[in-house]
């Protein structure tokens, strides 16, 4: 079942990417407090994710914070080494925190996993953006299979009013 507005974020273990290392964290601890924007991408280093999706949230981080967002997280079904390299290459700094969902546990728990085996990518994350208030989904924008329209930073800003 796909997560919906009004649902609580499931509690799973992920890797939070830091500047020098990563640490295992609980989604309840990192996503369950305050107002959080969580956006999911299918793959680090893929063209749409690297050229548009993540850079948009980096560029609009200050505007999101000005609208009451405490933290911005990007999650992908990639291991923490890949996510750390992607963060460095994108210059995420302290604007967007990266979460590695290496086994796809969060993607499955949210009902947002997608089978991209036909493209040699295995099971990945659907592209989406969500706003969480104390761990409860207050806004959810799911993209069509290949689109990038409703889950952009600009769309999230619009939803926040």
Residue with tokens 């914070």: 65
pTM, whole model, 2 decimals?
0.95
- Over residues 73-120, the pLDDT tens digits come to 999 999 999 999 999 999 999 999 999 999 999 999 999 998 888 888
For the chain, the average pLDDT equals 95
The residues annotated as belonging to the active site are 49
Domains of the chain: 13-160 (3.40.30.10)
CB atoms within 10 A of CB 161: 6
């Amino acid at each position: 079942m796909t997560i919906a507005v009004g649902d609580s974020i499931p509690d799973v273990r992920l890797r939070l990417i830091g500047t020098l290392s990563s640490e295992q964290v609980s989604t309840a601890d990192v996503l369950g407090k305050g107002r959080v924007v969580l956006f999911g991408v299918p793959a680090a280093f893929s063209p749409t994710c690297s050229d548009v999706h993540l850079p948009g949230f980096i560029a609009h981080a200050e505007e999101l914070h000005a609208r009451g967002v405490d933290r911005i997280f990007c999650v992908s079904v990639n291991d923490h080494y890949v996510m750390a390299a992607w963060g460095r290459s994108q210059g995420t700094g302290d604007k967007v925190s990266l979460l590695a969902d290496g086994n796809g546990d969060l993607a499955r728990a949210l009902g947002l996993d997608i089978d991209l085996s036909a493209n040699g990518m295995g099971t990945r994350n659907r592209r989406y953006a969500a706003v969480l208030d104390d761990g409860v989904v207050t806004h959810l924008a799911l993209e069509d299979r290949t689109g990038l329209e409703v889950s952009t930073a600009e769309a999230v800003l619009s939803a926040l009013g």
